[in-house]
Amino acid sequence: MRFVLGLLVCAAAAAPVWAQDAQQPKLRDLCSDRPGLDTPACTVDPGHLQVEVGLGDWTLDKQPDQRTDTIDAGQIALRYGVGATTEVRLGWTAYGNVRQRDRLTGEIDRTSGIGDVTLGLKQNLRHPAEKSGGLAVALLPFVTVPVGHRQVGAGDWGGGLIVPTSYKLNDTVSLELSPEVDAAVNQSGDGRHLSYGSAMGVQVHLSKTIRLTPELQFVRDRDPAQRATMSRAALSLDVQPQKLTQLDVQAVAGLNHNTPAVELSFGVSRKF
User: pLDDT tens digits for 206-232?
Assistant: 999 999 999 999 999 999 999 999 999
Query: CB neighbours (10 Å) of residue 103?
Result: 12
- pLDDT, one tens digit per residue, over 9-35 is 444 444 444 344 434 547 899 999 999
Distances from the Cα of 72 to the Cα of 63, 69, 222, angstroms: 20, 10, 26
Rounded mean pLDDT, 86-112 = 94
Name the residue type at position 123. Q
- pLDDT, one tens digit per residue, over 118-163 is 999 999 998 877 666 789 999 999 999 999 887 888 989 999 999 9
Number of domains in the chain: 1
Contact criterion met (CB below 8 Å) for 65 and 48 = no
Q: Is the pTM of this model over 0.85?
A: yes
**Which structural domain, as residue segments, surrounds residue 199?**
2-271
Distances from the Cα of 5 to the Cα of 146, 158, 160, 176, angstroms: 15, 21, 24, 33
Query: CB neighbours (10 Å) of residue 36?
Result: 25
Instruction: Give one DSSP letter per residue of 197-264, joined into a string.
Output: EEEEEEEEESSSSEEEEEEEEEEEEE-SS-EEEEEEEEEEEEEEEETTEEEEEEEEEESSTTS-SEEE
Rounded mean pLDDT, 250-271 = 97
Instruction: Give one DSSP letter per residue of 143-189, joined into a string.
Output: EEE--SPTTTS-SS-EEEEE--EEEE-SSSEEEEEEEEEEEEEPTTS
Nearest residue to 78 via CA among 149, 14, 169: 14
**What CATH code is carried by the domain that includes residue 85?**
2.40.160.40
> Distance (Å, rounded) from C-alpha 74 to C-alpha 13?
19
Whole-number percent of the chain with pLDDT over 90: 78
Whether pLDDT at 105 is above 90: no
